[in-house]
A and B are shown apart, each in its own frame.
Chain A
């Protein structure tokens, strides 16, 4: 009988489970407070249904659009530059997309508030995400199609080998979209509230701010639970059934397919950008050149918002990357902790926001910027951990170092961490812009006097400062474009 040496001992202690339980406390608090208030009023149930239908319809529209783009992208051999152009649309915060689309279409006399506006903004914003998820899968499926054509199968019959294998990936991508749309606050806040079209995140926000609500926290918690219930089946769906192939058999890239892809990427971006530029640069009454950037950046709320968002986003990014680096050598612990953190990222931010209010309202942390920092840490931690999970072969390289005499710490310091640097860099450029332009959590949790830039833009819109909001939208777009720099190059 042998004894396990200390270096190989599995972390079987209870404390990782305790830590995971601690991280899940906001969700538990939400459940305990929200459950007695279920099912809610008839209006609440209407909003539940609206949320469900809108998220489902939005997912289907976006999925169809992304599938088309993925097919064009693979067949056309679309390069990194064109993809970056498309991706920029996703990196812009969704509420900025809404403002841009709104003003662009207003120039043509089209009023896009309400359900059509929400669906359009969602499709524009989230199609690049679905494209990224679907493209590798479409590549494999098109390889199967090419193999079928080699064997003489053509026309509608060939679709039999293309579409069925794609169904599981479509389901996974659709599920991801559904979760994103269900939890999205920014687009319905900008395009839905003026028409009194509520979805669960905006209704929860309205309830928390409502002076007439009898139990704002309880009602918001119940709405959060509804969100969780609508999201749960998709969270449990998992990622089974994805296609894999090392080198799918593909026909040579045909440049003709790049044109519609490029046209879409350009139009989608222009639809957002032109509206913002027009509002920010031209006087709406005279049409004269009248840039409003200086005025927008001079607003006290904006200055505070920029400073706070910068500090919060930087702090969250640095802390999360340090945490992820510290946890990286302990895969068992990492898995347990990430299970909960994935939930915080996948489930709508409203759940986490309301849960944190319920949990921490009685503590001195409440109504301070630290609460928002904690919320950002919990919300974006999954991204940091996943970013550093990349770097395939890191474990092998570290083990190779240990076999050749390097101690565990030295092997990580000299081999593991240097190899993870590109992933850490990519993670930082992903998390920072998202945290900087975050709005769902900050709208719920900002401390008076410590507003974020997202809250400042929302306040500008609510206060009728549409031109200033557009200028700030452009500033946020520029920050978001930073994330493109973080795309891994190794």
Chain B
């Protein structure tokens, strides 16, 4: 459905994407995960036609669209800042972008996201969550070949964010919509993605299922993209493991230095032979433990 071949775009002030190859299948929810400035949003802009690539080709639905203006690419876009039109009502947003404006269908979409009673309200009369829902159904209203979502929940409070992202995933799957979703939140990536692509410094480092990339990162950057990382240096290499990969038993000696509780889970700061680390297990400060870390990843030191 979406195919990128060697797509590159550099900006005079730095940043951009460097030769990305990617294929997203029909009905798939693909999440691009990476830190700020890694090139995720640029990649979405290249798919949408908001930027033109310096090199490479973009295909949507098997047709090359590299040279097409945004309005001829048939994509839907949920922008980070929503980009709603302040002079239009929620219903007008949908009618304006529909190839054949159909009031009944538009109202149906609004009803689907619980906004039927707000159909005639303008953006400033809606709450943050309602605005984000309008942005979502506006993007779906033109029946896009691919839906592009650029950190759509970043401006929302945590409760609403959690509620909305599950709702969106259900909606996308119900409609069989292909989606390319950008986020820097590993939890969001794990929750929403059929497949994840990790981006760093303009490159697509690894593509796979969320579990695969989480458990078997192919680089230190991929490993770090999922957060909760312990990095310890030893003999020119970096030993990396996540807090939850440590468990009692095994041959490693650990001295517990500090204990903290965080949202129902206990984290301990421990001293290992290679340095200090945070691990998720129950222990008391001063206690000496035998630990097993599995997997323990080895990366060349940067």
Give A residues with C-beta under 8 Å from B. 1-8, 393, 396-397, 399-408, 411, 414-415, 418-419, 490
Contacts and interface: CB of A to CB of B under 8 A. Distances in A.
Contacts of A402: 69-71
Interface stretch (B30-38, B80-88, B176-184, B261-269): B80-88
A3 B71 CA distance: 18
Interface string B41-81: 00000001110111111000000001111110111110101
A325 to B, nearest CB: 16
B139 interface: yes
A455 B278 CA distance: 82
A415 B99 contact: no
Contacts of A411: 71
Interface residues of B, number: 34
Contact of A396 (B83, B88, B138): B83
B75 A403 contact: yes
B69 A400 contact: no
Contact of A408 (B48, B71, B81, B83): B71
A404 B49 contact: no
Given A404-B142, A419-B85, A419-B87, A5 B69 contact: yes
B130 to A, nearest CB: 18
Contacts of A407: 71
A406 B54 contact: no
B69 to A, nearest CB: 4
B1 interface: no
A396 B73 CA distance: 18
Contact of B85 (A2, A397, A490): A397
B96 interface: yes
B97 A406 contact: yes
Given A4-B52, A400-B83, A415-B85, 18 more contacts: A2-B55, A3-B67, A4-B67, A6-B69, A396-B81, A397-B85, A399-B50, A400-B85, A401-B96, A402-B70, A402-B71, A403-B48, A403-B70, A404-B71, A405-B97, A406-B97, A415-B96, A418-B87
Contacts of B57: 2
B12 to A, nearest CB: 14
Interface in B124-158: 138-139, 141-142
**Max chain B CB contacts within 10 Å: which of A397, A399, A400, A418?**
A400
Nearest to B65: A5
B85 A405 contact: no
B79 A400 contact: yes
**Max chain B CB contacts within 10 Å: which of A401, A404, A411?**
A404
A8 B66 CA distance: 12
B294 to A, nearest CB: 46
A405 B73 CA distance: 8
Nearest to A419: B87
For the complex of A and B, the 10 pairs showing the least CB-CB separation, nearest first, are: A7-B69, A400-B83, A404-B97, A402-B70, A5-B67, A403-B70, A402-B71, A403-B77, A418-B87, A405-B142
A2 B87 contact: no
A403 B68 contact: no
A391 to B, nearest CB: 10
B55 A405 contact: no
Contacts of B73: 403
Nearest to B58: A2
Given A3-B67, A8-B69, A418-B87, A406 B96 contact: yes
Contacts of A405: 71, 74, 97, 99, 142
Contact of B96 (A399, A408, A414): A414
B69 A404 contact: no
Contact of B68 (A5, A393, A419): A5
A400 B86 CA distance: 13
26 contacts: A2-B54, A2-B55, A4-B67, A5-B52, A6-B69, A8-B69, A396-B83, A397-B85, A399-B50, A400-B77, A400-B79, A400-B83, A402-B71, A403-B49, A403-B50, A403-B73, A403-B76, A404-B71, A404-B139, A404-B141, A405-B97, A405-B99, A405-B142, A406-B96, A415-B85, A490-B86
Contacts of A5: 52, 67-69
A330 to B, nearest CB: 16
Contacts of A2: 52-57, 66-67
A251 B75 CA distance: 48
A402 B75 CA distance: 10
Nearest to A1: B55
Contacts of A400: 77, 79, 83, 85
A405 B85 CA distance: 15
Contacts of A1: 55
Contacts of A393: 83
A433 B208 CA distance: 65
A404 B79 CA distance: 12
Contacts of A6: 69
B85 A406 contact: no
A4 to B, nearest CB: 6
B52 A419 contact: no
B124 to A, nearest CB: 10
Contacts of A4: 52, 67
A397 B142 CA distance: 17
Contacts of B69: 5-8, 402, 408
A404 B77 contact: yes
Contacts of B68: 5
A398 to B, nearest CB: 9
Contacts of B79: 396, 400
A397 B77 CA distance: 12
B83 A406 contact: no
A404 B140 CA distance: 9
Interface in B69-126: 69-71, 73-77, 79, 81, 83, 85-88, 96-97, 99
A7 B50 CA distance: 11
**Max chain B CB contacts within 10 Å: which of A5, A393, A406, A415?**
A5
A127 to B, nearest CB: 35
Interface in B176-206: none
Contacts of B77: 400, 403-404
B189 to A, nearest CB: 23
Contacts of A414: 96
